[in-house]
Amino acid sequence: MSGNTINADEHKRKMQEQQRQVRAKIADAKTRRGVIIYLYGNGKGKSSSAFGTLARSVGHGKKGAVVQFIKGKWKTGEQAIFRQLGVKHLVMGTGFTWDTQDREKDIAAAGAVWNKAAPLFKDPAYDIIILDEITYMFKYGYLSAAEVSEVLLARPEKQNVIVTGRDPIPELLEIADTISEVKEIRHAFHHGVKAQKGIEF
């Protein structure tokens, strides 16, 4: 199980150099402030990632909130966990836009949930807030990306925000501190595997 292709001394030297680089970067990173993390792309794992970070924060005793766009009507495993962990949960009540097929109703629902979410970004009690799948709102013109970005930038200094959604929105790319693109390389769904409880929802 080992494979002695790498010489032990060479390995040690390389690891020492890597350790030095990592330590130098840690020493350079001195600013203590909340960050905006933006996860976009067509791959699976963006919302899960946000929820995993939330769970980790709550594990450290932090206070969190989740604002879910689009997936509002789904009865998800997340909801059970959010309740159990004392996380505030706001949802847009109308489900997928291709289920409602009513633009005016979607716009009203998006505005309503955003109006409830906005005050959280003025409340320093919240350490971490997730805006899940909000990029659809910008793409369809239901919410203004400029207006939301302005609210995020004016938030309390230590507050962290995670924004997820399929699309790279210019206003979010501009203001985010950490950005990952999640690209679909393969998806079981396209190969006839049924969506499962706990994995997909």
Scan residues 6-25 and list those touching a copy of itself (CB under 8 A). Answer: 6, 8, 11-12, 15-16, 18-19, 22, 25
**By CB under 8 A, what part of segment 156-185 binds a copy of itself?**
160, 173, 176-185
**Beta carbon of residue 166, minimum distance to a copy of itself (angstroms, whole number):** 13
Which range, of 30-38, 65-73, 116-124, 149-157, touches a copy of itself by CB under 8 A? 30-38
Distance of closest approach, residue 163 Cβ to a copy of itself, in angstroms: 12
Nearest to 166 by CA among 201, 143, 141, 132: 132
Q: Which of 86, 154, 157, 198 binds a copy of itself (CB under 8 A)?
A: 198
If one asks whether residue 86 binds a copy of itself (CB under 8 A), the answer comes out as no
CB of 71 to a copy of itself, least distance (A): 12
Among 123, 144, 150, 153, binds a copy of itself (CB under 8 A): 144
Q: Does the footprint of a copy of itself cover residue 112 (CB under 8 A)? A: no
Q: How far is the CB of 36 from a copy of itself (least distance, A)?
A: 9
84, HSE (Cβ side, Cα atoms, 13 Å): 8
Q: Are 182 and 43 in contact (CB under 8 A)?
A: yes
Q: What are phi and psi of 91, to 5 degrees?
A: -130, 150
Contact between 97 and a copy of itself (CB under 8 A)?
yes
Q: Select from 65-73, 118-126, 149-157, 192-200 the region that touches a copy of itself (CB under 8 A).
A: 192-200
Q: How far is CA 56 from CA 48, 53, 131, in A?
A: 12, 5, 17
Q: Which amino acid type is present at position 54?
A: L
- Is residue 194 part of the contact set for a copy of itself (CB under 8 A)? yes
67, β-bridge pairs = 90, 131
- Contacts of 149 by beta carbon, 8 Å cutoff, 6+ apart: 171, 172, 174, 175
Beta-carbon neighbour count of residue 72 at 10 Å?
A: 16
Question: Cβ atoms within 10 A of the Cβ of 132, count?
Answer: 25
Residues 45-74 that bind a copy of itself (CB under 8 A): 45-60, 62
HSE, CB side, 13 Å, CA atoms: give it for residue 100. 19
